[in-house]
Amino acid sequence: MASKGIGKGMSKRNKWIIGGVAGFVILFVLVAVFGTPSAELVFKDMNEKMLQTKSVTIDQKVAMKGTAEIGSRVYMDFSSNKDLMAKGSFSMDITAASNPMAITGDLIKIGDSNYARFSKLASSNKKIDATLNPVETKLKNEWIKVRNNDQYASFSESAFSFMANILPVPYANLNDVQRKEVLAILQDKSMYTISESSKVETAGVSAYKYIISYNKDQFKKAAKAIAGYVSYFKSDDSASGEITALTIWVNISTKQLIKAEYTGTTDSGEVTGTVSFSDYNKTQTVEKPSDYSIESELLN
């Protein structure tokens, strides 16, 4: 009789184990089928999510063929639609053989006021480097309020100018009404063509990688709408340059851009670039330098 009782107990136990395993298998299958949204849905949601960006840190590397390479890491605060707040670092390597220069420094942008601080002004050309040495000595580690006619501080404008760019997969901080208008343009069937999509692991997260093209006229409509709501973003209908190849990576969980790689053309020739996004909506303090000068004052 005792052995029968044990047998019954073991049978119940086995049933619980088998039932638990079966439940886990079913749950795993459900997660596999329903847990990961499709590439099409993530792409659609990405547009809306990126138009709710309050702040973000952007790493950018741009190479203009045979001319220059520009890099920057900048925190950007979009809490105001009138005054952009930003801070970070930049580098510029002018590769033109006749006038090579290497420039690095920091930058701050508060509305229309730009500030730059150089850490390096040098050249591989000995004659040019000899000219830059005394300039570097006077400007190095000094905050300068950038003006249009500055000879050296204006170099930082290349880093500042990218902040006004609107990508074909745009980011901004729009309210519900504004976002609805822009999304109607971006989510029109003619806007994007996804030629390839695949699930990948990048930057420690699961993402979809998309190779896309876009309708230039439709993008101009979206850019114009965004620029109408956010004064520091610029929409230039006369611009002749365009992105000819674009690959983006989107975080499947957050629906936010991780990275974009592009090839394009400008009036100066071919350009390639990488833009990486991190620290979404993590607020940092941006303040103007407590002490700054005008370039001409430091050089005299």
- pLDDT, tens digit, 9 for 90 and up, residues 219-269: 999 999 999 999 999 887 655 678 999 999 999 999 999 999 999 988 778
pLDDT for res 148: 85
pLDDT for res 33: 43
State yes or no: pLDDT of 36 exceeds 90: no
pLDDT band at 163 (very low <50, low <70, confident <90, very high): confident
List the one residue out of 263, 260, 284 whose CA is nearest residue 272. 263
Query: Could you tell me the pTM of the whole model?
Result: 0.85
pLDDT band at 67 (very low <50, low <70, confident <90, very high): confident
pLDDT for res 31: 41
State yes or no: pLDDT of 111 exceeds 60: yes
User: How does the average pLDDT of the chain come out, rounded?
Assistant: 88
pLDDT for res 59: 97
pLDDT for res 24: 47
- Out of 25-29, 159-163, 242-246, the most confident range is 242-246
State yes or no: pLDDT of 7 exceeds 60: no
pLDDT tens by residue, 260-296: 999 998 877 899 999 999 999 999 999 999 999 999 9
**Span 143-160, mean pLDDT?**
88
**Span 74-84, mean pLDDT?**
96
pLDDT band at 84 (very low <50, low <70, confident <90, very high): very high
State yes or no: pLDDT of 149 exceeds 60: yes
State yes or no: pLDDT of 168 exceeds 50: yes
pLDDT band at 6 (very low <50, low <70, confident <90, very high): very low
pLDDT for res 13: 52
